[in-house]
Amino acid sequence: MPTRKSSARWEGGLKGGKGTFKGESGAINGQYNFSSRFEEGAGSNPEELLAAAEAACFSMALSGGLEGNGTPATFVETEAACTVKPQPEGGFKITTMALTVRATVPGIDDAKFQQVVQATLTGCPVSKTFHGNVDITVNAALV
């Protein structure tokens, strides 16, 4: 299996500095700073990238699980919200990853769909990375 790479460069101090990141494929890149990460400033941030990775992986893994169930999806759409919070002991921590999943899946009932969703939560490679360290929730519905 391939190893994927990205890089980042930070210039300056924590609050006044600025950074850039890029993926080796060139498909992702951006700028970030203290304000874009811990406030509401313009730019990207690592949490946005983690949310994108989780949403993409979960959608793909759920599609595979549904196909393996004999009920391939017409589409799976996942929105991921990654939250970082200050910690009482100091510093910051990514605390939650909240998933909202909507899918059209012919021939499946909600109970079976929810079962496949929960199996995906424990089987998706990116979700596995967060288990035990980040509270992952999922709200999934058939549409």
Dist. CA 34–CA 42, nearest whole Å: 10
* Residue 51, SS3 per DSSP: helix
pLDDT of residue 25: 94
Considering the domain 46-142 in this protein, what is its CATH number? 3.30.300.20
Q: Where are the domains of the chain?
A: 6-38, 46-142
Q: pLDDT tens across 75-110, in order?
A: 999 999 999 999 999 999 999 999 999 999 999 999
The percentage of residues in the chain with a pLDDT greater than 70, rounded to a whole number, is 100
Query: How many angstroms from the chain centroid is the CA of residue 30?
Result: 17
Query: In this structure, what is the dihedral angle of CA atoms 119, 121, 127, 131, given to the nearest 10 degrees?
Result: -100
